[in-house]
Amino acid sequence: MIKLENVSKRFPTGIFALSDVSFEVAKGEFVLLVGPTGSGKTTIFRLLIREILPTGGKIMVDNLDIAKLSHGKIANLRKKIGVVFQDLKLLMDRTIFENIVLPLEVSGIKTLDAIKRVDDVMVKVGILEQKDKFPVQLSGGELQRTAIARAIVLNPPILLADEPTGDLDSVTASGIVNLLSEINEKGTTVVMATHSQDIIKSLPKRIISLDKGHLVTDAKKEDKK
């Protein structure tokens, strides 16, 4: 479903954010993309949604060469990939419901269908009672659940989560990881970027490790025993 072949990304400053990175993620996998700040995790996510283009190599998503997509097909690509951004990107002047419904409005979903879909996804992530509140009124965990709800409301086959537990306490973080696992168990391919050692140790998932833009290891948890 996701394939990177010898992908490099060099920014105008001359810094290589990625150097010759190759890996594949199969449909239905849950993969941890790990490494310290500046290792290239967020750059990979930006490449996958065609926010930036690689300097070298090839990126395939759902059998599409994303570097060759027309403008219209880029929009279709982004409907296939839900993203939980590191800074969440929630609109502070809109309610939780209004934040989550936005992708449906942009996609032209009928109002009644959109309302039902938002209610359903809010129940799934456990924040239905917060629907009329504003982001400033929610806890960190509730904000993450809102961002996840918005990311999955279009039922994308792929979900990218960029450090979704970064600022949360261990109990709340565990709840977010469990939610992502439940989403994965229902068929969504999940790639989660993290540098949390607690999560890395506790989750029996495949781990792709990056350091300074280089792929260091790629192994399932059981392979490392």
What residue ranges do the domains of the chain occupy?
Answer: 2-224
Superfamily of domain 2-224 in CATH is P-loop containing nucleotide triphosphate hydrolases (3.40.50.300)
Tokens 């350091």, located at residue: 211
**pTM across the whole model:** 0.94
Distances (CA, A) of 154 to 105, 194, 207: 11, 24, 27
Q: List per-residue pLDDT tens for the chain, 225 residues long.
A: 999 999 999 999 998 999 999 999 999 999 999 999 899 999 999 999 999 999 999 999 999 999 999 988 999 999 999 999 999 999 999 999 999 999 999 999 999 999 999 999 999 999 999 999 999 999 999 999 999 999 999 999 999 999 999 889 999 999 999 999 999 999 999 999 998 888 998 888 999 999 999 999 998 754 544
**Residue 221 has what pLDDT?**
54
Q: What is the pLDDT of residue 72?
A: 85
Q: CA 67 → CA 55, 74, 77, distances in Å?
A: 10, 9, 11
Supply 87's token pair: 């800074």
Beta bridge partners of 25: 2
